[in-house]
Structure 1
Amino acid sequence: MYDRRQASAEFIQKLLAKSPMPRNQVAVISGLSNTYIRDLEQGIIANVAREKLIALAVALNLDLGETDKMLNIFDRAPLALQDIPIFLATAEKGTITSALLPVRDRYSLDLMMLAAERLPGHHVVVSSEPTVCLRAPGHRLHSERLLAKTHLIYGELVEAIGRERLKVMENNLEQHQVEQYICKKCLEDYLRLCEDPVEKAWRVQHVQNVLSCLDRFPKWKFLLTNSCPTFSFVLKTPDPATGESDKLLITRLAPHRFQGTRTGKLTGFTTDNQVIIQNFKEELRGLAGAVHQQYLDRSNLLDYLDILIKG
């Protein structure tokens, strides 16, 4: 009879061999020790805690179906809604390394975002639409409904991560500045070019949430630019007291990204490599020069967003 421990060891060996990361980087991202992962490779550990398997799956960029396969190999039940808090906890234990690491699933990128956002400090978002943190509950369930069909927990998982990211952002704004750079034309297209009336209603609410955030948090800066950036990215500069280095998350998602299934496709990259980050800081200096000066006046910005919402 084929030994289950041998099967699990071979499974982990194949995953690590396929991963672009060495074991020590997988350990850093997952929050598991290098020794623990080596023991998994060798089949030394017979009884592996569910939360450790899920943390390892996130670090290895496994989609939810592949995570179910790992759980089965280790004689664990498939993912269920009760596992969502375990996914959120992985963002507390893991960290971003100096390697330029690919992220292949949207939920994995969200968890990496959450890990960076949980570090107190200055936060910059560069994208073609308002930050996902400000989406209303239920928006992602609609927008990513095709992805939600790929796994029973996907929709609720991304909604839960979104709620946590919003809470973390609001906590951060009490002490630190958060900026979003967004092309004015892209923002207008986000509302005006949407042909799905249900999605458009969600997007209007999304921009209304930007208005609400501007009203409640003086440290929230929504900066309209007259040109599109080359990349969408998030740059986190942690408070020096954390002892953490700057973190960068790069992503470029097409506007029609939710019209098909994207599970397993390349979604973005993460790194705390300071040479790479310096190049993106220079990109930010260029964006700062492209900001529409009239909308630096908060009242002008609020009036513009109000008119945009009303169509």
Structure 2
Amino acid sequence: METVQNTNKFIQRMKFVIKDYASEISILCGLIILCAILSIASPYFLQVQNFLNIGVYISVAGTMAAGLTVVMLMGCMDLSQYSVMAAIGMMVAILLNNGVNAILCIFIAIATGACVGCLNAFAVTKMNIVPMIATIATQLMARAVAFLSTGGKYLNIKNAVFKTIGFGDFLGVPILIWVLIIFNVSLAFILKNTSFGRKVYAVGGNPTACKLSGINVNKMRLVGYIISGASAGIASILSISQVSAALPTAGSGQEMDCVAAVFLGGLSLGGGKGRIVGTFIGVTLIAVLMNGMTLLSLDAYYQIFLKGFVLLLAVYLDQVRQARNRL
């Protein structure tokens, strides 16, 4: 009798988990199907080195997408990340080439990203500018700074610390991937197991009720934008380490990649619903798709078209999920 009860409890719990993680499970199934198709289409897809290449490729986007998730969970938006990443990358390269300590440069990069996050938060919470417009303005300014810093020229980086970050490994896994994993796991833990995480979801779900219950909504959004900006700072370190150079054009044309990944992962446009794990799967799916098209030698313009289609599909899926929740 006790065994039957335990079995029933287990079944009920599994049903709850499946329902709760429906968005993540569905996108994971899509990723598995895509991998199966590409493994048949290309003999190189299932090679270990190819999977490591995909991991390295998503280290930049995956880090920023995790930071963006926190902002979007609170019903806001940040479209400035890639441009901020490029501007900070140029700044770090200039500092390194002028003899500034590499570790100090890393902290400066993260702090600068956090400061840009504060600027975005000020525009949104104090100036009452729509988040999308505010962060597009920041995006344009940051991209201009990236170009003005060197007159549009790229800067080579020759530094042992950055070379280790870009090309080193630990236990056979590139350090870039370790940074990606640690950052995502840390944010996922914070969102799930801390009062800050619970407040993030509450602000996204009903900001008015949060204000009435004593939660400082503007302060929460400030912290969210700081995390998003800091993630762009971390991504800048990963980006310039990968190619041993800082480019003012870094991330140009990729501004919507993170947004598409977040939506694909199950996050609601209105905020309050979504998880880091879903975003991570979304980033991985897009990267696998791009990797597959490269292995199949398809034109880069098709990749751009497909990214647009994926973004459209992601937003549509979010609308479908919201419609179901209203039933």
TM above 0.5, yes or no, is no
TM-score (norm: length of structure 2) = 0.24
For normalisation by structure 1, the TM-score amounts to 0.25
The structure where helix makes up a greater share of residues is 2
Greater fraction of residues in strand: 1
User: Using CA pairs below 8 Å that are at least 6 residues apart, which structure has the higher relative contact order?
Assistant: 2
